[in-house]
Amino acid sequence: MSEETPRTISLAVIPGDGIGPEVTAEAVKVLLAVTGGSPVRFELTEYPLGAEHWLETGETLPEHTLQALKEHDAILFGAVGAAPGDTLVPSGLIERELLLKLRFSLDHYVNLRPSRLYPGVHSPLAAPGNVDFIVVREGTEGPYAGNGGVLREGTPQEIATEVSLNTAYGVERVVRDAFQRAAARPRRHLTLVHKHNVLVNAGRLWKRTVEKVAHEFPEVTHDYLHVDAATIFMVSDPSRFDVIVTDNLFGDIITDLAAAITGGIGLAASGNINMDRTFPSMFEPVHGSAPDIAGQQKADPTAAILSAALLLQHLGFDDEAAKVERAVEKDLSGRDGTRRTTAEVGDAIAA
Amino acid sequence: MSEETPRTISLAVIPGDGIGPEVTAEAVKVLLAVTGGSPVRFELTEYPLGAEHWLETGETLPEHTLQALKEHDAILFGAVGAAPGDTLVPSGLIERELLLKLRFSLDHYVNLRPSRLYPGVHSPLAAPGNVDFIVVREGTEGPYAGNGGVLREGTPQEIATEVSLNTAYGVERVVRDAFQRAAARPRRHLTLVHKHNVLVNAGRLWKRTVEKVAHEFPEVTHDYLHVDAATIFMVSDPSRFDVIVTDNLFGDIITDLAAAITGGIGLAASGNINMDRTFPSMFEPVHGSAPDIAGQQKADPTAAILSAALLLQHLGFDDEAAKVERAVEKDLSGRDGTRRTTAEVGDAIAA
Ligand SMILES: CC(C)[C@H](C(=O)O)[C@@H](O)C(=O)O
Ligand SMILES: CC(C)[C@H](C(=O)O)[C@@H](O)C(=O)O
């Protein structure tokens, strides 16, 4: 971006439930701070969606809201979901009817989840080594397609099915994206994670697609790991990973594990990205709404702030994104165990 | 078992490929040693099955062999699978057509995988705490049912599906088994691991079944974790687990992770158990055939030996099982990094 071009970014903000609003406020603070004095201007529109909103209105994601969201340049998402004990909100409803519906409706086929162990951050691993990889999780199909059904529910003859849908179209575009990201990284290595010895139909498609797309990227080396073996390496030798590409469900599982070994989900950022830019991409911390600590300024806003950095990167503001990352890095390396409020952490990073 | 009753156990032994024969030999050695001088006699029949056997004969598990296996009291299984570079053996064929076929044909609905961090064993976790839990993995349905298909294979219009089958019958029997095991342990706690917010059909069945069976076990407490969250706790607080019950695929993933945090798959034992005893149960180390170190006496036979202890327990020889466990414990606590051959480790434990 030239320093001279004035540009207005229309940003939808969905703070959500629990700690969502608190951490999102800090991410917005940092976005405004890093672009302050530059020709970039953020125009914010807040959308009150989530479990609270559902309780008040019965709406999860109305069609007109979805259409309105499509008009923005990007979406900043906090966290959604009711407290586990909240019996008024059907379990998983908001996650499915809001979060997953956004990912699917806005064709967020790249669910990007970087995992880096920042200097000074405590890992539960005794000898983590230099952990710095990204997971490119497929975001629009697989077991998340929401297929399956139930026969004879509640009887001893009940049968329940889940259907994983995998298409050449869906797999190829995310595999190509992962190769592109691998080609742009120093180590240029890609690992496919699947379970092709058991899930043979989907597995063959994923393997064949990686072999095929690999020809377009002769500079990128690649290997394969079963998902079970991948979890072993995640704790025994996580520095072996550079770029991982995997399906929606395996990606869900291994990115939580990846977050855990790099300091916890309080630090894990993610982007739900539509690389074709037919619809806005959405950036959110990997963590949930953590209702138990909501409203107490106890939540760590770092994951939300790093998600804002991914947003900046996606919009082409690489310098600003790097600035935010450096500020986070500095803040993390200086942490000495003193308790700070959510806003204090945000202020420190913004400063 | 009374000390006086002479009893002959008819044991099928499937050494398999790679390091399978080496580690199985040590497990047999320990079985014979611990029952030597007692009225228990093992009658061994070896079955040459696996990738090598397939290359020689084209057979994976012929019908007459399956029928013969059904006549034994139990099966000791080594490991199967060709080397990754071996292009003659179709990838995953032996795993599916032999190992999984045995689990399904012999109705091994309880895939029991204990995870214990033995004193003196190195964990990759900095502060693992007191790790001692068991995973009861469903073994006969779920995504392993081998359902699904492919349309337009190899074209840009390909679609590949995987179907997870879950029945009230299948879920209830394994959940009840897990509660029974929890009731017999000091902490009496059961954790259901699933992903019911996304896999709603199967998830509802699993949750409802746990709630229902819980009434039969008022002394057992229980909770629920999404599989992604479970991987976080596995590295951040594994001592929270006592008994985990989960589906076939989630169980595959989290038991490899559980093995990794308790010293690696070189130590992880498992039982594929048919609690109704309609068919023989089968005991096998969690690890694979490790072709790269095969035939070099480098493999650790501990997982195979602990699997033999599970076999003894299943057959009612609790004292003998405990003896083997104690011998393993002693051997592990005395390990000082000196390299020993597979047979030397087996000898030490047998002694
Ligand atoms: C809330 C849930 C539906 C979601 C998922 O499974 O994708 C979450 O775990 C995540 O990883 O973003
Ligand atoms: C070899 C493979 C089919 C098997 C499984 O997935 O069950 C293995 O990983 C295991 O855990 O026993």
Residue B338 included in any domain = yes
The one catalytic residue in A70, A207, A224, A256 is: A256
Known binding residue A296? Answer is: yes
User: What tens digit of pLDDT does each residue of A252-277 get?
Assistant: 999 999 999 999 999 999 999 999 99
Question: Residue A344: its pLDDT value, please?
Answer: 94
Please give the Cα distance from B231 to A251 (Å, whole number).
12
What is the rounded average pLDDT of the residues B132-153? 96
Please give the Cα distance from B59 to B45 (Å, whole number).
18
**Is the CB of residue B99 below 6 angstroms from any atom belonging to ligand 2?**
yes
Tell me whether residues A201 and B148 touch, CB distance under 8 A. Answer: yes
**Is the CB of residue A232 below 6 angstroms from any atom belonging to ligand 2?**
no
Distance from CA of A196 to the nearest CA of B (A): 8
What is the three-class DSSP state of B310? helix
For B43, the domain range is: 1-116+265-351
Interface test with chain B among A222, A235, A250, A289, by most B beta carbons within 10 Å: A235
Residue B144 included in any domain = no
Closest atom of ligand 2 relative to the B286 alpha carbon: 12
User: What tens digit of pLDDT does each residue of B300-311 get?
Assistant: 999 999 999 999
CA-wise closest residue to A340 among A305, A298, A301, A306: A298
Closest atom of ligand 2 relative to the B248 alpha carbon: 7
- Chain centroid offset of residue B331 CA: 22
Query: How many domains are there within chain B?
Result: 2
Residue B34 included in any domain = yes
Tell me whether residues A150 and B255 touch, CB distance under 8 A. Answer: no
What is the rounded average pLDDT of the residues B39-63? 96
* Residue of A60, A93, A96, A99 with the most ligand 1 atoms within 8 Å of its CB, for mutation: A99
Residue A94 included in any domain = yes
What is the rounded average pLDDT of the residues B209-224? 98
Statement: residue B41 has pLDDT above 60? yes
- Could you tell me if A211 and A309 lie in one domain? no
User: What tens digit of pLDDT does each residue of A15-42 get?
Assistant: 999 999 999 999 999 999 999 988 899 9
Half-sphere exposure of B272 (CA within 13 A, CB side): 26
Residue A304: CB atoms within 10 A of its CB come to 32
Question: Residue B4: its pLDDT value, please?
Answer: 61
- Could you tell me if B165 and B235 lie in one domain? yes
Half-sphere exposure of A89 (CA within 13 A, CB side): 27
Q: Is pLDDT larger for residue A90 or for residue A76? A: A76
Residue A85 included in any domain = yes
User: What tens digit of pLDDT does each residue of B236-246 get?
Assistant: 999 999 999 99
Give the active site residues of B.
144, 195, 228, 252, 256
- Could you tell me if A194 and A256 lie in one domain? yes
Question: Residue B83: its pLDDT value, please?
Answer: 80
- Could you tell me if B247 and B328 lie in one domain? no
pTM strictly above 0.75: yes
Question: Residue A114: its pLDDT value, please?
Answer: 98
- Could you tell me if A159 and A278 lie in one domain? no
CATH of the domain at A341: 3.40.718.10
Q: Which of A262, A293, A324 is the last residue of a domain?
A: A262
What is the rounded average pLDDT of the residues B41-64? 96
User: What tens digit of pLDDT does each residue of B300-350 get?
Assistant: 999 999 999 999 999 999 999 999 999 999 999 999 889 999 999 999 999
Residue A88 included in any domain = yes
Q: Which of B201, B229, B262 is the last residue of a domain?
A: B262
Name the residue among B124, B160, B165 with its Cβ closest to that of A202. B160
Please give the Cα distance from A114 to A339 (Å, whole number).
26
Distance from CA of A31 to the nearest CA of B (A): 30
- Could you tell me if A103 and A151 lie in one domain? no
Q: Across all residues in chain B, what is the average pLDDT?
A: 96
What is the rounded average pLDDT of the residues B144-156? 95
The one catalytic residue in A109, A118, A195, A247 is: A195
- Could you tell me if B258 and B131 lie in one domain? yes
- Could you tell me if B241 and B344 lie in one domain? no
Residue B85: pLDDT band (50, 70, 90) is confident
Statement: residue A134 has pLDDT above 90? yes
Question: Residue A152: its pLDDT value, please?
Answer: 97
Residue A216: pLDDT band (50, 70, 90) is very high
Residue A146: pLDDT band (50, 70, 90) is confident
Distance B25 CA to ligand 2 centre (A): 22
Query: Is A144 tagged catalytic?
Result: yes
Q: Which of A262, A294, A310 is the last residue of a domain?
A: A262
Please give the Cα distance from B208 to B224 (Å, whole number).
12
Residue B208 included in any domain = yes
- Could you tell me if A294 and A258 lie in one domain? no
Helix (H) or strand (E) holding A167: strand A159-167
Percent of chain A with pLDDT over 70: 99
Question: Residue A82: its pLDDT value, please?
Answer: 85
Which residue's C-alpha comes closest to atom 3 of ligand 1? A95
Question: Residue B234: its pLDDT value, please?
Answer: 98
User: What tens digit of pLDDT does each residue of A294-324 get?
Assistant: 999 999 999 999 999 999 999 999 999 999 9
Residue A3: pLDDT band (50, 70, 90) is low
Q: Is pLDDT larger for residue B84 or for residue A224? A: A224
Chain B residue with Cα closest to A238:
B124
Tell me whether residues A161 and B202 touch, CB distance under 8 A. Answer: yes
Length of chain B: 351
Q: Residue B320: what are its φ and ψ, rounded to 5°?
A: -65, -40
Chain A residue with Cα closest to B91:
A197
Distance from CA of A2 to the nearest CA of B (A): 39
Please give the Cα distance from B125 to A247 (Å, whole number).
27
Residue A117 included in any domain = no
Percent of chain B with pLDDT over 90: 93
Name the residue among B92, B195, B255 with its Cβ closest to that of A200. B92
What is the rounded average pLDDT of the residues A52-78? 97
Distance from CA of A32 to the nearest CA of B (A): 33
CATH of the domain at B205: 3.40.50
- Could you tell me if B65 and B94 lie in one domain? yes
- Could you tell me if B164 and B258 lie in one domain? yes
Tell me whether residues B165 and A172 touch, CB distance under 8 A. Answer: no
Question: Residue A37: its pLDDT value, please?
Answer: 87
* Crossing angle of the two packed helices B302-314 and B342-350, in degrees rounded to 10: 40
**Is the CB of residue B252 below 6 angstroms from any atom belonging to ligand 2?**
yes
- Could you tell me if A153 and A255 lie in one domain? yes
